[in-house]
A and B are shown apart, each in its own frame.
Chain A
Amino acid sequence: MTYFKKRNGKWKLTLRGKDARAGYLFILPFLIGFFGLFVSMLIKSISFSFSNMEVGADGYILTKAAKNGFEHYIRAFTIDPDFNLRLGKSIAKMCTTVPLILIFSFFAANILNQKFKGRAIARSIFFFPVILTSGIILGIEQSDLLLSSMNGEAMTSTEDLESMIGVTRFLTQYTSLPGEIIMYLSNAVTGIYDIVIASGVQILVFLAGLQSISPSLYEASNMEGATGWENFWKITFPMISPLILVNALYTIIDSFTSAGNEMMSSITSTIFTDVKYGYGSAMAWIYFIAIALILAVVGGIISKHVFYYD
């Protein structure tokens, strides 16, 4: 691993060194933007979380918070009654939805990748939710008469809930499946709309992945007499595995940071409505560290099984 070598009394780049130099040059534009805009922002946010902020006419003044600056962190865990509950809820919700979203989007992408009539239309239909759930459109839909009355309906209607419970009871009585699995499945069925709506981006990523698998691989394996099942597990699955990693991480992050998340909205309201910037930042950082730990574990597990061609 040498990047420099002395030749004719001068230090010259070796082949490996040249490769590294080209690498650095290529990532330079990104690094400038990233460190200039993003990292400095994070450092500011950390310093906010350790201090009390007072906003005056000519800017803001930071004073160190009590208990060596850890006041806000201690308060989140021990004093605030809702914080721990919300944190647990967010994590539990993530654990149930993420696997379902991944499986559904992979399945949908596989179907959409096949050749059939109206494929382009079918694909765009699956991308609509991403367009519909963004920005201004979401805001307007929320103020809509039909949708708001439908939400009220969903709150009060017990019929669906009862039939749901009936099915669950039937399953627990007449099958020998463990209760946790049944509860998981029945939650999945109730949340199917959310899952379908949340998987637009993932479907598209998987679709792009499927499209970049060379058809010659399938040709060769068909020539050797492989079945579709074997093709799927021996070619499609390994070739798509880097994108399973992308989608898993993206889905986890999306479920944690979407505007509808309870934790997110409580952070936002603490910062912007109650104007407690220090406490809000501390909450955000605890939340962030929790997400980072989950991501590290999940990412570590998946990337062990990821296959890179070459």
Chain B
Amino acid sequence: MEKTKRRKFRLKKQAPNRSLWGDGLMLLVLTICGAFMVLPLVYAICNALKPLEELFLFPPKFFVRNPNLNNFHDIFVLMSQSWVPFTRYIFNTVFITLVGTLGHLLVASLCAFALAKHRFPGRNIIFGIIVTALMFSSQVTAIPNYLIMSKLNWLDNYLSLIIPAIAAPLGLFLMKQFMEQIPNTLLEAARIDGAGEFTTFLKIGMPNVKPAWLTLIIFSFQDLWNMQGSNYIYSEELKTLPYALSQISSGGIARAGAASAVVVIMMSVPIIVFIISQSSIIETMASSGIKE
């Protein structure tokens, strides 16, 4: 009796099929690969803290010796001289990022839900077109895109940055693949209980693919946050934050310190968004509680 009890206890404590060696090996692989990835970040932060004379040391040093915040101070000095208040740039980027990300999320997931869970003629053709659309990178489409924006009179307007981002195909493709995994029985159950099509989408479809749309938010946010939009925006008061900051760094070698501080500021926000969205992911309930 006692023997079986102890055995049960041990089984519970130890995760199944995992050994100390396996854990150690995984940790090793993670550390090596992680080191590759984290080094540029460490370097960027070090650079931002370096005083000017240390930035131009030869041979260059990786780590900072006398860290100070002068570079960040320089940004604010430079920015306070600009014609438009600095907060305006921040507002522009935040506005474009939020509207674009939310719009993209809504449009892409609506479309993905229909493509995955509704049968209608032309479905496969539309999906095929979307996959091919993934192929066009922004360099190839720059000139035609500009012509369309100018025809629509959207130049020098937030719309020229937001609307194309909303219809981006990658997020849609991702959402469609996830939506396919939702069991039809779950949706049927909701419909039988009297849910309309939109309620089914919102209350059953979306919660079940939460990891997918949190990932989609990260991608879209990251893209929009770094968007310079210099092709479409000319008025100073509509320019985005990356655009304004790239003006600092284009000041050449004299602004190298401020430019390295800009890097840290620009990347800290997507990293924070990433950490928040990743920590709010929990395992979903899809396909649990279904008896066929």
Contact = CB atoms under 8 A, between A and B. Distances in A.
A249 B30 contact: no
Interface in A100-128: 107-108, 111-112, 114, 116, 120, 122-128
A280 B44 CA distance: 36
Contact of A45 (B132, B144, B219): B144
A208 B283 contact: no
A38 B259 contact: no
A34 interface: yes
A212 B213 CA distance: 11
B213 to A, nearest CB: 9
Nearest to B46: A146
Interface residues of B, number: 110
Contact of A146 (B43, B164, B181, B270): B43
B222 A131 contact: yes
A249 B134 contact: yes
Given A140-B263, A196-B36, A239-B181, A208 B212 contact: yes
A99 interface: no
B29 to A, nearest CB: 7
A54 to B, nearest CB: 14
A237 to B, nearest CB: 14
Interface stretch (A16-24, A159-167, A183-191): A16-24
Contact of A120 (B34, B56, B275): B275
A246 interface: yes
A284 B183 CA distance: 41
A277 to B, nearest CB: 7
Contacts of A26: 110-111, 113-114, 118, 197, 201
A268 B138 CA distance: 10
B53 to A, nearest CB: 12
B209 A30 contact: no
Contacts of B211: 207-209, 211-212
Contact of B278 (A116, A120, A243): A120
Interface residues of A, number: 101
Contact of B145 (A41, A129, A141, A205): A41
Contacts of B249: 136, 139-140, 143
Interface in B113-145: 113-115, 118-121, 123, 126, 129-137, 139-141, 143-145
A20 B120 CA distance: 5
Contact of B143 (A16, A136, A193, A271): A271
B283 A215 contact: yes
A101 to B, nearest CB: 13
B118 A135 contact: no
A246 B177 contact: yes
A308 B116 CA distance: 11
A222 to B, nearest CB: 6
Interface string B212-248: 1011001100110011100000000000001001100
Contacts of A212: 178, 181, 208-212, 284, 286
Nearest to B184: A310
Interface in A190-220: 192-193, 196-197, 200-201, 204-205, 207-209, 211-212, 214-217
B181 A145 contact: no
Given A24-B120, A29-B110, A122-B30, A267 B181 contact: no
Contact of A214 (B147, B222, B227, B288): B288
B5 interface: no
A125 B271 CA distance: 9
Nearest to A284: B140
A204 B59 CA distance: 37
B180 A242 contact: yes
Contact of B40 (A22, A33, A128): A128
A256 B140 CA distance: 12
B262 interface: yes
Contact of B262 (A20, A140, A295): A140
A264 B48 CA distance: 32
Given A129-B40, A136-B249, A214-B285, 16 more contacts: A22-B118, A27-B110, A31-B111, A37-B164, A48-B144, A111-B26, A120-B275, A143-B259, A144-B47, A196-B37, A207-B215, A208-B212, A212-B210, A212-B212, A242-B180, A258-B137
15 contacts: A23-B123, A26-B113, A37-B145, A44-B148, A125-B37, A129-B37, A137-B226, A196-B37, A214-B284, A214-B285, A215-B288, A228-B16, A250-B173, A256-B135, A310-B184
Interface of A: 16, 19-27, 29-31, 33-34, 37-42, 44-45, 48, 107-108, 111-112, 114, 116, 120, 122-132, 134-137, 139-141, 143-146, 149, 192-193, 196-197, 200-201, 204-205, 207-209, 211-212, 214-217, 222, 227-229, 239, 242-243, 245-246, 249-250, 253, 256-259, 264, 267-268, 271, 277, 284, 288, 291-292, 295, 299, 308-310
